[in-house]
Every structure is written in structure tokens, then in C-alpha cells.
Structure 1
């Protein structure tokens, strides 16, 4: 759309837009009433995924205090490292007129009727300018810094007319809707793969060399003292390190960091992941430890997990590790063993303030090991499932990149919609 600009105190903006203070056009922690002692839906910080609009889960708990919200409110994490890691969500999981509560570390944002569109408020809150200003404003002791509510009284933003806000939100929502659909499909695919894994390597009812289920073909079992259970005859108990080579990350020199895409993308930790999507924020011209495409990479400090396959070469910082399968047929076995063990590993992780996994925690993870003939058969069984998951993740990465490219341009008026 042809655009004319005007000069304002925050720079050039479209002539039909206004300059407004964030708190003037958006309600901060709007009043929502709940009765103490009664049960309501609760959204914890762990129910929100990094850089993801959709709330992942909730619990039913007795209300004793905390933030209160309803559908079409935005939950904005105010504490470090949740804010830096991109924990912001749009509430759409409640019934009509239902009110829920959550962590005291949420700031609740809500559009003002006739002034701001609710979904536009969500996308405004995740825009680079708002994120930078709120992160810069954080106060408090190291490791427990928070965004003060007062910062929203000083942030000035360009405000498009309500109808244009709705169109901007519609464009960005269409991209997030597709991402959420792919995530739902991946959830079903992963549950299918998990069921197959359980049948083969927990129940041990795998397909033998004749293509028959092990127990239906008179499969023999023998007691294993190390695990305290019976396992198929000929199998053994080994370690994850028997099937893979581990590379622990090592952060390069800080002066080598840049945001200009010079050198190799750098992964330092959870802030560089969007769940299973890789979203590096910095690059390095002096890489230290470099993983290869298709290596299994995951976070090992602070937020532990985000297990995914590398889509290209990355420099691994101190908060990330990589596993390289010794054979292609071990690829998905390694992934699934690590995936099902990560929760227990997180509980046992060392560190009083920032928890972390050691090299031994990962390499010494006990697993049952079959012969390569069975591993090959399993690899062929689940390969198509994981390739579809990978395809969806790749599409999500492109959609996410497109959304993040469009968002600041739409919010500033650089791109206009008819």
C-alpha cells in the first residue's frame, strides 16, 4: 500500500498512525476476580513453551494467589531467564467467561476495547523493540531479575488504526496457526514412535529376523542382574556412549560474537531453541566445538532438553551438547533413549543455581542393546515417522522465520496492508 510518513518523537511513522504510551492503549494486569480456596485452571511457567503462542498444558488447583486472566489475554513472563528465552503466550484455552490464574511472574496484557486488538497486543508484546526495552529494564539480584510494571508507562509505540491492527494480527496468526497444526501432527507422530519404541525396547515384543513378534515366535528371555529384569536372550546392557560419540559444547571468545551472520551460527542454550526448532541469536567467527548436520543436539545447562537433529553445522556453546551416532541405524534409538530419560537426568543434574548435565551423565546412560540386525529393522520401521516430523519442523522453521521477518516491518508501518 502506498505509504506516506510523518516525523514524530519516536521517528517516522505512517501519517494515519498515532504515537501512544504502551500503558495508555493496553491494560496491564487488568482486574479479574477469583475466590481464594476454590479450584480453577492454573497456568504455570512450565506450561508455556519458548517462542510459542499456544499454552501447552494446565492443572486444576486451589487458588491462593497469583496472576489472573481470561481468554484473549497475553501472558508475558517478567523474570529472567524466562523473558529472554521467549516465554509469552496468548490465552485461548478457557471456556467462555472463564477466569484462570497462574504464576506471579506473569504480567497480564489486555487490549482496550475500541483501541487495541487482543491478538495485536500479543504480537506487539513479542516484537523485538518491546522485548529489548523490557529486558533492558530488568532490576533485582543476579538470576532473579524482573521487569517492573512501570516500564510500560515510558515505552512509546506507533499505533495503527484498529482495523489495520486486526489485519496485521490476522496475517501473523495465519503463520502461527499453521505452526500449531504442524506441532499437533508431530505430537501424534511422536506418540506413535514412542509406542513402537516401548513395544520393542521396554516390552521386548520386537520383530525378529523372521518378521514375527518375538514372544509369538517363542522368544527366549534371560535375567539381567544390572537392570533387575529379564531381557531377550543375546541382548546386553550398555551405555549411550556405546552407540554414539559425545561432544560437549565450549563457548568461543565473546569478542567473536556477532548478529550479522558472519561465521557459524552459535548455540549457547535454551534461548537459541524454540522447542525443537533451532533459532540461533548470534554467530561466531572463532568457532570452537562444531557439530555436523544430522547430529543430535540438546541443551545441557539451565533448561535441559530441546532435543532435536541439527539441520546444518553449528558452533556449540557451553550450554549445548551433540551426539553423533556411530552408525546411521542408531540414530533414532539414541534420540528416543535420551528423550525418555531426560526428565530423570534433569532431576539428578548437578548445580545449586544453574543445573547442568556432565559428560558422564550423558555417555553413561544405561540402555538395552540388541544386535544390528534388529536395530536396522527398527530404523526402517520408524524412519518415515521421524522424516515427517523433520519435514514439519523444517516447515515450522521457515514459517517462524517469515513471521519474525514480517512482524517488526508490520508493526513499524514499513509494510502496509490493503
Structure 2
């Protein structure tokens, strides 16, 4: 086997293969304005540009990079991205824009893969200077090293990586369509009241009887009720007692998954970054343990994100932290209905009306209990569950597949340090 010293000789400085680009939007010919996210993507800019001289903005073209070297130590990442979605865009002049000098020597996509690695960010954080908000100097960025195999090997690696990434994107697009379908069905049945009647016809437009409800100030189907949400579910908080885990009680593997706010997103559960507690710590906690078909609702900071703990999810032991609550239905059929209700635009608006706290928005349990909801009859809830539970199974299956694909993607990134010497190993 080759020594580490010999392997290290295969590494090259990034600065030997890139060059800065400073092309300004002087003629105002480009109007697609993008920003840079800490997740290493270009995003639509939210900056207020009223009265701004857009001629000073930098033009960035396809296969060029932009980065931010400020506050690297604080953020523990270098926001850097490769423009692929557009042929050209404009970006703030505060960002360095650079490109690969010779794409026959180095593929931009290969370099972006290297800069996506967590080890790359850790090294950049180590090099950053300037205190808590330490920045990285351009020269230090250029001195960072990477393994550069021959161009054919780069193409092979990039192709394999893109196959995984594209499959992940395809699954995300599929899930988006499925979620839109579920929400459209919820709206059709429980907002427009066009659920199937006994003859399979749309209830309201087929002359179904409606009665006026004073609390909602509108008509609802006869036999339906309006009550507070606590009539549908038990509301369970996370444990906040003396046994609540401290930072040193969390592990990358363990007996019980411990959810934090980042694990419950607008799209449901996100298990890309997880923390665990031991069986001993789990047994010390009095509440906050999930049962199947529980719904998790975030109640602090980013309020209103929901996730559904269905049978498809692989983790068998899960607890929540104190920034969320569990909504536990008596029956699974009610849980399916409630999950769609909580994801509806109407419920998002209702929740926003109950928020308290200025520095950090909060939704206390006492306020959750007051949220009014329409309660359909059992037959309609059961029929809705038959349709939507099938959609949810597809969503969960796709998410599980994406979790495995993300693992493969991370494994491929971690193996980049070895690609140069694989053919030479003996």
C-alpha cells in the first residue's frame, strides 16, 4: 500500500485550477437575481433592490461558482455553489465569483462535489480567522487541497454522483405531487364540502343539506360538528424535567431517536441528521414518546411544521424535545384526517393567529386546545382515510428510499480521498 505521504502528494491546491471572475451587469442585460444559501445552493434573492443600482451586481454564468468566505467559523460552513440551473444570473458584488481555468483538467462538478464534503467545511473552519465570526481569506481558500484524479475518472465519479442526486430530486418531485394531491382532496372534501354522498356524487353541489354554524360564520354539512381540536386528540408535551438530556447525552447512534426542530420540516420528518439517547436515559423520561400514527407539531421557533409517524417509518423508538408536541388520536382514521387538516392553508392561518412571544414565536398547549376544527361524521373520515393513507404510504416509501440514497451519496463523497490511489494499491 502507498504511504500517507505518497497519497498526499496526489493532492493539488484549489487555487492552481481556478480564477476569479468579475463581470458586472453594466448593460443591465441580466435580471435573474440569486442569493447563496448555507446549504450550498443558489436561491431566489429576497433582498430589497428598490433603488439599487443593478449595474454593480456581478454576472455569474453556468458552470461558474460563487462563495461567501465571511463568518465561516460561526456558520461552520463555506456557502459555495455551482450555477447549473441558469445560463446566467446576477449576484451581489460581495460574493467572490470564480471559475475553473481548464475543464479538460478539472470538471467544475467534481470540484463542487469536493467542496460539498463536511470535512471540507471543517478544514475551512479551522483555517478561518477573526474571532467568533471568523472569515476565510481568499488566499487560504486557494491553498486548500483536493485529490485530482485524471479527467476520465472525474467524469466517472461525477456521473455516479449525479445518478444518485437526480434520483433524490425525482423522488422529491414525486412527493410534492403526492402531497399536492392529498391537500387537493382534503380541500375538495372538507373546505368545498364536495365529499361523495351516498350515491357517490359531490355532496354540496348535489344538493346535500347544509346548516349554518355561528362559530365559523358559514354553512357546514348537516350532522357535522365544530369543536376544539382537543376533542379529536390528546396533546402530549415533551419531557422538560431534571432528566431532560443535556448536550453530552446525545450520540450519533443509540437506543432511542431524539427529535429536534430540524427533524420536523414543512415536508414532514427529515432524518438526514439524527441524535440518539441511551436506553437508560430514555427510561428516565416521563413523557414525549411517540406511538405509531402520532402526529408531531412544532410549537417553538418555526411553528406549525407537522410530521406523521406512520408504520412505514423505520425508527421504533422516538422521543420529542420540548419545542414540539404530540397529537395522539384515538383512531388511525382520525389521525389521517387530522394530519391533512394541520397541513392545510386554513389551519396554517389559524395557527398564526394563536402565536405568542416576540423574540421566538410559541404555540402553548393551552392555545392549541382552543383551535376550532370541523369534525366530520365517522363515515366521511373513514372514507378519506382509505384514500389518503395509500398516498401517505407512497410518500413514506419514497422518503425511506431517499434516506438510503443520501447515505450512498455521502459514502461516495467520503471515498473521494481514495480515488487517486485505488488503481495503484497493491
TM-score of the aligned structures, taking structure 2 as reference length: 0.77
Q: Distance in 1 between matches of 2:125 and 2:358?
A: 24
Point out the structure with the larger strand share: 1
Please list the CA deviations of residues 300-329 of structure 1 after superposition, one character each: whole Å capped at 9, or x if unmatched.
444456533332232322344433333101
Q: Distance in 2 between matches of 1:273 and 1:84?
A: 22
Deviation at 1:129, TM superposition (A): 0.1
Q: What is residue 194 of structure 2 aligned with on the other side?
A: 205
Q: 1:256 to 1:241 in 2, by over 3 A?
A: same
Contact 1:219–1:232 (Cα < 8 Å) also in 2: yes
Contact 2:17–2:102 (Cα < 8 Å) also in 1: no
What is the aligned length? 399
Q: What is residue 372 of structure 1 aligned with on the other side?
A: 378
Q: Distance in 2 between matches of 1:52 and 1:296?
A: 31
Q: Distance in 1 between matches of 2:74 and 2:376?
A: 41
Residue number among 238, 241, 252 corresponding to 2:245 in the alignment: 252
Q: What is residue 344 of structure 2 aligned with on the other side?
A: 340
Residue number among 128, 133, 139 corresponding to 2:118 in the alignment: 128
Highest Rg: 1 or 2? 2
SS in 2 for 1:377: helix
Instruction: Tell me whether 1:406 sits opposite 2:412 in the alignment.
Output: yes
Q: What is residue 41 of structure 1 aligned with on the other side?
A: 32
Residue number among 69, 81, 84 corresponding to 2:60 in the alignment: 69
Q: What is residue 273 of structure 2 aligned with on the other side?
A: 280
Q: 1:326 to 1:80 in 2, by over 3 A?
A: farther
Contact 2:76–2:122 (Cα < 8 Å) also in 1: no
Please list the CA deviations of residues 258-286 of structure 1 after superposition, one character each: whole Å capped at 9, or x if unmatched.
22x12322322227869543223322222
SS in 2 for 1:195: helix
Deviation at 1:138, TM superposition (A): 6.8
SS in 1 for 2:4: strand
Q: Distance in 1 between matches of 2:79 and 2:329?
A: 32
For residues 5-404 of structure 1, the aligned pairs below 5 Å read 5-8=2-5, 13=7, 18-26=10-18, 30-35=21-26, 40-44=31-35, 64=54, 69-73=60-64, 90-94=82-86, 96=87, 98-101=88-91, 110-114=99-103, 115-134=105-124, 145=133, 147-150=135-138, 152-153=141-142, 155-249=144-238, 250=240, 252-259=245-252, 261-270=253-262, 276=268, 277-285=270-278, 286-287=281-282, 288=285, 289-297=288-296, 299-304=298-303, 307-310=306-309, 311=313, 312=315, 313-341=317-345, 344=349, 345=351, 349-360=355-366, 362-404=368-410
Q: Distance in 2 between matches of 1:361 and 1:139?
A: 46
Please list the CA deviations of residues 207-256 of structure 1 after superposition, one character each: whole Å capped at 9, or x if unmatched.
12443211244212222222222222222223333323333345512221
Question: RMSD of aligned C-alpha atoms?
Answer: 4.0
Q: Distance in 1 between matches of 2:348 and 2:361?
A: 13
Compare 306-315 and 171-180 and name the one that shifted more. Answer: 306-315
Q: Distance in 1 between matches of 2:77 and 2:355?
A: 20
Deviation at 1:185, TM superposition (A): 1.4
Deviation at 1:73, TM superposition (A): 4.2
Deviation at 1:43, TM superposition (A): 3.3
Q: Distance in 2 between matches of 1:326 and 1:136?
A: 52
Contact 2:128–2:137 (Cα < 8 Å) also in 1: no
Structure 1 residues without counterparts, runs of 5 or longer = none
Q: Distance in 1 between matches of 2:298 and 2:79?
A: 17
Contact 1:74–1:121 (Cα < 8 Å) also in 2: no
Q: Distance in 1 between matches of 2:106 and 2:387?
A: 51
